[in-house]
Amino acid sequence: MQKMNTQFKEFFQSKTVKMALSATIAIFIANKIGLQFGVTAGVIAILSILNTKKEAIKVGVKRIFSCTIAILLSGALYIALGNSTIIFGLFLLIFIPITKKLNLEEGITIGAVLSTHLLISNNINFQWVINEFILSIIGIGVALIFNLYTPSLEEEFLRNKEIIEDKYKSILSEMALRLLMDFELQTEQVDIEKVEKLILDTREIAYKINNNYLFKNDCYYINYMDMRIMQLDTIRRMKNHFERLNMKYEQAVILSEFTLNVSVNVHEKNDCIKLIEELQILREEYKKMELPKTREEFENRATLFQFLNDLEDLLTIKKEFKKNNCK
C-alpha cells in the first residue's frame, strides 16, 4: 500500500503530468475570461515547467520581462510599419539581440509566438496588447504553481549517502586486509568506479535540492559530495601503493589496524580529530622502530609511510569539511 502511494505521488510529481495539467488549466482560464488565442497560454505553461523551484521563479521572471518587451516592440513596429512577414523579421532582428543583451534568452520563443498574434491582427490596439500580456501571465503563472510542487529529493540523497559511506568502509577495510595479506582484491577497483559514479549522480541531486530552496542557499549537501570526491582521489593514491608493497612488516600490522579503525569511522558525523591525533601517535611510534636493514625493506617501509600520509590527507579532508560545514 505504501509502495502504491509512493508511485502515485511520483506520478503526479512528474514533468509529464505537470505539463498536461498546467496546459489544460491555463487554456481553460484563458478561454473562460474570453482571451484570444487561449491555446497559447497552454503552450507557454508547457514551456515553463522546469525541474526546480528556484530555476522556475528565475526563468518565469525573465520570461515575463521578455514577453513584455516582445509585445510592446512588435506592437510599435506593426503600427508604424505595417503587418508583414518582413516587419516580423525586423522585429526578430531587434528583439533577439535585446534579450541576449539583457540575459533574457529564455523568453525568445514565447515572445516570438506572442508577436505573431499581433502580426495577423487587422487592428492593433490596447486591448490586443493586454490580451497578449495576460496570456503570458496565465501560462507562466499556472506553470509556476505546478513548479512549486516538486518531489523531495532528500530521501534519495540520504539513501545514496549511506551507500557511499558503506562503500568507503568496504574499500578501506579491504585495504587494511591487503596490508596483511599478499593478494589483490578483485572487487576493489569495481567498487571505486561504482562509488565515483554514485557520488557524481548524488552531487547532481544535491544541486537540485539546493535549487529547490527559495529563501536560503544551503550548500551542505553539495559540499559533502565534493568532500567525498576529494577523498576518493586520495583513496586511489592509497590503492596505488600496493603495487610497490611486496613484503610485510610489523609497521604494516599496526597500520592495518589503524586503517580498519578509520574504515568504521567514515560516517558523516565524525570530525576525524581524534583519528588524526591517533595517527600522529602512530607516526611517532614508527620513528622509534628499528631502521630497515636492506634496500627492499627500506623501499617497502617508505611505501607504508606514504600510505600513512595519504591516510592523513583522507582524514584532514573530512576534518576541514566538518569545520566549515555545520548540519
Closest by Cα among 315, 172, 176 to 236: 172
**Lowest pLDDT segment from 109-113, 114-118, 126-130, 284-288:** 284-288
User: How high is the pLDDT of residue 134?
Assistant: 93
Number of H helices, E strands in the chain: 13, 0
pLDDT tens per residue, range 283-326 = 887 777 666 666 766 677 778 888 889 999 999 999 998 888 76
User: How high is the pLDDT of residue 68?
Assistant: 93
pLDDT surpassing 60 at residue 8: no
pTM for the model: 0.64
Q: 39: pLDDT confidence band, cut at 50, 70 and 90?
A: very high
Cα pseudo-dihedral 192, 168, 234, 276, rounded to 10: -170
User: How high is the pLDDT of residue 245?
Assistant: 65
Can you tell me the distance from the alpha carbon of 24 to that of 98, in angstroms, rounded to the nearest whole number?
A: 32
User: How high is the pLDDT of residue 292?
Assistant: 60
pLDDT surpassing 70 at residue 17: yes
The residues, ordered by sequence, that sit 6+ positions from 111 with a Cβ below 8 Å of its Cβ are 66, 67, 69, 70, 71, 95, 99
Domains of the chain, CATH where assigned: 2-147 (no CATH), 154-324 (1.20.120.940)
pLDDT surpassing 80 at residue 76: yes
For residue 67, the tally of other CB atoms under 10 A from its CB is: 25
